[in-house]
Amino acid sequence: MLEALRENGFCIVPDVLEPSRVAEVRERLLAAAEASERRGVPTRMPALDPNAHNIRVFHLLELNAIFRELIRHPQALALVQGLLGDDFLISNFTANIALPGSGSMALHSDQALVVPEPWLAPWSMNIIWCLDDLHEGNGATRYLPDSHRITSLDELPADARSRLAAFTAPAGSIIAMDGRVWHTSGANITAHEERALLFGYYSVDFLRPQVNWNAVLSPEVQAELDADMRRWLGLEVAANFRTGGALLARNLGQGPG
């Protein structure tokens, strides 16, 4: 799977969640959307989506323990560590439920949103959790094949949108996607099918996460986190010493003193 992710920019792993677990996560997602609105965090984002038929749920890690379990699911982390290395951070965890009638958002790569070009290596990636069967008609995420090889904006083809392909995957699958892949949500042209996806976004630890977990996570939720989660969320006191520390150690070992 890791080879496919490196080579193609994505891989699809079926059957990560069994149907009963998918149903449970989906139910908690709908409750999280309501809780988000009650807490004053809107679930409609006119800046992102062309109409009000997408439900966006932010701060999933704060809203329910089930999302704190998913973000560290062993099959997800194996792919994250395989692509980004052991020193990664959880950058964000959000949901996009595309309801019938939803449209496609702007084409983008998630790495381009957090680091300027050139994009020479995978420094971020998504684990996309499919809570519904994903197919072109219900607004499956659309991606530009081989676009993880694009290193700067001027390499993006002018006709990129007409070259997009749709991911297809059964509910319960995860899709691991290199942060450099250019993609967008599809339009949901079905009459009644909802398309719920969760986007676990991870980055190398020298990039600032998309959200400030110290501000997002309440003291109650922070108190529940173990040492790994605290590290992956950047909640410890030390923020950016690892690379510098290794460099100093190496130079101190070799230097003239």
Q: Which residues bind ligand AKG (CB under 6 A)?
A: 96, 141, 183, 185, 197
Q: Is the distance from CB of 147 to CB of 9 less than 8 angstroms? A: yes
Tell me how far apart the alpha carbons of residues 140 and 166 are, in angstroms, rounded to a whole number.
6
| H helix and E strand count, the chain | 9, 9
* Shorter beta-carbon distance to ligand AKG: residue 153 or 246: 153
**H/E segment holding residue 77:** helix 74-84
Minimum distance from residue 142 beta carbon to ligand AKG (Å): 7
- Token pair of 129, please? 């959790």
* Shorter beta-carbon distance to ligand AKG: residue 25 or 197: 197
With b for 16 or more beta-carbon neighbours within 10 A and e for fewer, the 115-140 pattern comes to beeebeebbbbbbbbbbbebbeebbb
* Shorter beta-carbon distance to ligand AKG: residue 17 or 140: 140
Minimum distance from residue 63 beta carbon to ligand AKG (Å): 17
Minimum distance from residue 227 beta carbon to ligand AKG (Å): 30
* Shorter beta-carbon distance to ligand AKG: residue 76 or 221: 76
Minimum distance from residue 103 beta carbon to ligand AKG (Å): 11
